[in-house]
Amino acid sequence: MSVAQIRYFVAVAEEGHVGRAARRLRLSQPPLTRQIRSLEDELGAPLFERTPRGMRLLPSGERFLPHARAVLRELDAASRCLVDAAQGAPAPDGAGTRTAEP
62 binds DNA (CB under 7 A): no
Nearest approach, Cβ of residue 17 and DNA (Å): 4
95 binds DNA (CB under 7 A): no
What is the DSSP annotation of 44-92? Answer: TS--EEEETTEEEE-HHHHHHHHHHHHHHHHHHHHHHHHHHHHTTPPPP
41 binds a second copy (CB under 8 A): no
Per DSSP, what are the bridge partners of residue 54? 51
Closest residue by Cα to residue 55 from 40, 69, 68: 40
**Residue of the chain from 37, 75, 87, 102 that contacts a second copy (CB under 8 A):** 75
Nearest approach, Cβ of residue 84 and a second copy (Å): 9
Residues of the shown chain interacting with a second copy in the complex, contacts defined by CB under 8 A: 1-3, 6, 43-45, 59-60, 63-71, 73-75, 77-79, 81-83, 85-86, 89, 92, 95-97, 99
